[in-house]
Chains A and B, each alone.
Chain A
Amino acid sequence: MSKPYYDSADLRKFGNITEWSEELGNKFFDYYGKVFEEGALTAREKSLIALAVSHTEQCPYCIDAYTKDTLQRGVTKEEMMEAIHVGAAIKSGATLVHGVQMMNKVNKLDG
């Protein structure tokens, strides 16, 4: 059986990126940690946003991480799926809204 391109165990090695560029790696993780602290938004709300973005970015590591994180925060399956639909709506909306550009171009070129 061929080895899958992504290995879920690699997520545990995420912190190792600092080994090849310590300063930049540390700056990233400091920033990352700060972003997810409780602020004007709760950590729970931030986790749901992260879950939705994980899907629009189609990052399997992020999906695993934020599925677990939202579960830890007591988020229900229904809330998780609704968050993904929000991401999906923006993603499809973003595609469709570019249709206006296509229509403009067609109108210009082909009256």
Chain B
Amino acid sequence: MATKSLQKSGSDLANSNRQIEILSNGIFKSGELPTFKAKISETNQFPLKAKKLEILQINVGYMCNQVCDHCHVDAGPDRKEIMTRDTMKQCLEVIKNSGAHTLDLTGGAPEMNPDFRWFVEEAAKVGIKDFIVRSNLTIIRANKKYYDLPEFFKKHNVHVVSSMPHWTRGKTDKQRGDGVFDKSIKALQELNAVGYGMPDSNLKLDLVYNPSGAFLPGDQMSMEKDFKKALLEDFGIQFHNLFAITNLPIARFLDYLIASENYEDYMYQLVEAYNPSAVANVMCTNTLSISWNGYLYDCDFNQMLELPVNSKAKHISEFNEELLEGRNIVISQHCYGCTAGAGSSCQGVVA
């Protein structure tokens, strides 16, 4: 179990160029992978183009109370990158003036940004259709100052999307650290207690499942059925949807794949599961990812690899919806992760 971020531990994988070099050149004993560009060209889907903007995903900082083994953000308590109120104000202007209907706050643990509540309150006034906060659940139980988060979320009609690796303690704690399962269960019960996740409730509570190791997620619908049955029977917990997400081979998950000698097999798994019909709906085509310091990316993964948007508008202060629409999406080998099987995005499967 990791205790520090790659950045803090001085790993060469903290360097995005090093990650791209590994992804691009491979380190295979046998054969080589086709490029993602070649693969999508087979079905005339290159270049991948951005469609109309629907979702603004804002990463308000990489600080987190957890150090999960798979984290593609390399988040942790030692990460100090945090969005300032000034940058948040620029984001609010964009939210008001763009056609995006969904606002998706992520991190790290977004709740750890000191201006998080201010931002939620201001953003809630703008009248966005779906206002998502990606919560790791344990933050709700981490410290007294967060205990009222369920009520705060309810007050602003926030759509809570929470990570939950498995319905058993062993698999959850293995990925996220000792004690995470029990705290997550308690947090889910508290969210249920204020009305989140109930079948007839408008207070949306969705869970995110991503595998604990070097394998792909199973069928989302079957997994949701298993999660719902186990969490209800064992803990009386209810939730709405389960999003099954594929781990992308970047940052700490890439580090794990290489250290455990699973990298080659995992990349082949992704390529063998490549589904051309998933390409049309990958999240980068209708989403814009904004980093803690206001730079624009096609997705959260490109943000971590420091691959900025291919547009004249590169920063939130230069936001121009017309300029960004139709841009060529920046791709690399990690994109196989979003097109494997039924496809993967922050909203679950895409095909």
By beta carbon, the residue of chain B nearest A44 is B222
Q: How far is the CA of A77 from the CA of B174 in the complex (A)?
A: 12
Q: A9-B30, A12-B272, A71-B213 are in contact. Are A76 and B170 (CB under 8 A)?
A: yes
B264, chain A: closest CB distance, angstroms: 9
Docked CA distance A44–B171 (Å): 18
Nearest A residue to B264 via CB reads: A9
Q: Does B121 lie at the interface of the complex (its beta carbon under 8 Å from any beta carbon of A)?
A: no
| 8 Å CB contact of B215 from A8, A68, A77 | A68
B292 to chain A, nearest CB (A): 33
Write out the residue numbers on chain A whose beta carbons fall within 8 Å of the beta carbon of B167.
74
Cβ–Cβ contact A43 & B219, under 8 A: yes
Residue-wise interface mask of A (1-20) relative to B, using a CB-CB cutoff of 8 A (1 in contact, 0 not) = 00000001100100000000
User: Is A27 part of the contact surface with B, judged by Cβ < 8 Å?
Assistant: no
Closest chain A CB from B344 CB (angstroms): 13
Report the separation of the CA atoms of residues A76 and B171 in the bound assembly, to the nearest whole angstrom.
8
Interface of A, secondary structure class, is helix
Q: Give A18 to B246 CA distance when docked, in angstroms.
A: 30
Contact indicator A72/B222 (Cβ below 8 Å): no
CA distance A12 to B271 in the complex (A): 11
Query: Considering only CB atoms and an 8 Å cut-off, how many residues of chain A contact the other chain?
Result: 13
Contact status A43-B268, CB under 8 Å: no
Specify which chain A residues have a CB less than 8 angstroms from the CB of B31 in the assembled complex: 9
Inter-subunit contact B272/A73 (CB<8 Å): no
Question: Is residue B218 within 8 Å, beta carbon to beta carbon, of the partner chain?
Answer: yes
Task: Return the CB mask of B195-230 against A: 1 if under 8 Å, else 0.
Answer: 000000000000001010101111100110011000
B29 neighbours in A (Cβ, 8 Å): 9
- With a 10 A CB-CB cut-off, give which of A9, A72, A73, A74 has the most chain B CB atoms: A74
Indicate if B166 sits at the interface (CB-CB under 8 A).
Answer: yes
Residue of A nearest to B341 (CB): A72
With a cutoff of 8 Å between Cβ atoms, the chain B residues found around residue A107 in the complex are: none
| Interface pair A73/B222, CB less than 8 Å apart | yes
CB distance from B147 to the nearest CB of A (A): 31
Contact B218 A73 (CB under 8 A): yes
B30 / chain A contacts, CB cutoff of 8 Å: 9
Distance between Cα atoms of A2 and B211 in the complex (Å): 35
**If the complex has contacts A12-B268, A42-B222, A43-B219, are A76 and B211 also in contact, measured as CB distance less than 8 A?**
no
Given the known interface contacts A9-B30, A12-B268, A71-B213, the answer about A76 and B218 at a Cβ–Cβ threshold of 8 Å is no
Q: Mark A51-80, 1 if CB is under 8 A from B, else 0.
A: 000000000000000001001111011000
User: Which residue on chain A has the smallest CB distance to residue B214?
Assistant: A68
- Bound-state Cα–Cα, A76 to B29, Å: 31
Which residue of chain B has the shortest Cβ distance to A10 in the bound complex?
B30
Complex Cα distance, B226 from A43, in Å, reads 12
Q: What residues of chain B lie closer than 8 Å to A74, measured between beta carbons?
A: 166-167, 209, 218, 223, 226-227
Pick from A43, A68, A72, A77 the residue with the most CB of B within 10 Å.
A72
Residues 58-111 of A contacting B (Cβ, < 8 Å): 68, 71-74, 76-77
- Contact residue among A8, A9, A72, A77 (Cβ-Cβ distance under 8 Å from B218): A72
Q: Name A6-39 residues within 8 Å CB distance of B.
A: 8-9, 12
What are 13 A-B pairs at a CB distance below 8 A? A9-B29, A43-B219, A44-B218, A44-B226, A68-B215, A71-B215, A72-B217, A73-B219, A73-B222, A74-B167, A76-B166, A76-B170, A77-B170
**Residues of chain A at the chain B interface (Cβ within 8 Å):** 8-9, 12, 42-44, 68, 71-74, 76-77
> 4 closest Cβ contacts across the A-B interface?
A73-B218, A72-B218, A71-B215, A68-B215
